[in-house]
Structures are given as structure tokens and as C-alpha cells.
């Protein structure tokens, strides 16, 4: 680190513009609304996430949350809309069968 860098007046070669792929600071600061849930997981799963979180210096619950978020984002239709009318029709059909 003690050697001095010597710059020369040379051609840089072909210059290529790289598209901006980084998220904006606003996107980085944004936090989704969290919902507390109670979930029973297997000891094997929890031990795995705790070990991995320790290796990567993060929290195991955060890793599980990110895994679930990544799964939801890759689904073709995360929240299918259901018509209330359809739900009522199904309930009425169940009552008539019973």
C-alpha cells in the first residue's frame, strides 16, 4: 500500500455503459409490515437455520422470513382474488348437500 500509483495518459479502450441495477435508497429503507404468527417448526429445520444464521452473522428468523418472501414472490399469482359471491354459492351448496 506504500507504492504510489502512477497514472498515464492512455486510452481506456472500449467504454460500455452499465445499466443501474442497484435499488434506490428508498427501496432499501422500506420495510414491509410485519405480522406476528405462531408456527411450530421441526427441530431439524430450526437447527439448520440457526447454524446458517450464525455462519452468516444474521438472525435465523430473518432468514426464514426472507425464504418465505422469496417463495411468495416467485409464485405466478400470489393472492388469487376470490369472488364473495362464489364463496357464498359454495357455502349454500354445502348446506343443501348436508
Asked if residue 10 is part of any domain, the answer here is no
C-alpha cell at 37: 404468527
pLDDT of 18 reads 85
Compute the distance between CA of residue 78 and CA of residue 8 in angstroms, rounded to an integer: 55
* Contact present, 72 and 66 (Cβ < 8 Å): no
Query: In the predicted model, what is the mean pLDDT of the chain?
Result: 80
Asked if residue 15 is part of any domain, the answer here is no
Phi, psi of 35 (to 5 degrees): -125, 125
Asked if residue 81 is part of any domain, the answer here is no
- Across the range 61-79, mean pLDDT stands at 84
- Across the range 8-22, mean pLDDT stands at 85
Asked if residue 49 is part of any domain, the answer here is yes
Confidence at 44, pLDDT banded by 50, 70, 90: very high
Asked if residue 53 is part of any domain, the answer here is yes
Count of domains observed in the chain: 1
pLDDT of 52 reads 93
pTM: 0.50
Compute the distance between CA of residue 93 and CA of residue 91 in angstroms, rounded to an integer: 5
Amino acid at each position: 500500500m506504500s507504492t504510489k500509483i502512477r497514472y498515464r495518459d492512455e486510452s481506456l479502450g472500449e467504454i460500455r455503459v452499465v445499466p443501474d441495477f442497484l435499488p434506490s435508497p428508498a427501496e432499501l429503507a422500506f420495510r414491509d409490515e410485519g405480522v406476528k404468527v405462531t408456527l411450530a417448526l421441526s427441530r431439524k429445520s430450526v437447527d439448520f437455520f440457526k447454524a446458517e444464521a450464525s455462519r452468516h452473522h444474521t438472525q435465523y428468523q430473518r432468514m426464514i422470513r426472507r425464504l418465505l418472501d422469496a417463495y411468495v414472490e416467485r409464485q405466478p399469482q400470489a393472492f388469487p382474488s376470490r369472488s364473495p359471491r362464489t364463496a357464498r354459492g359454495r357455502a349454500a351448496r354445502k348446506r343443501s348437500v348436508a
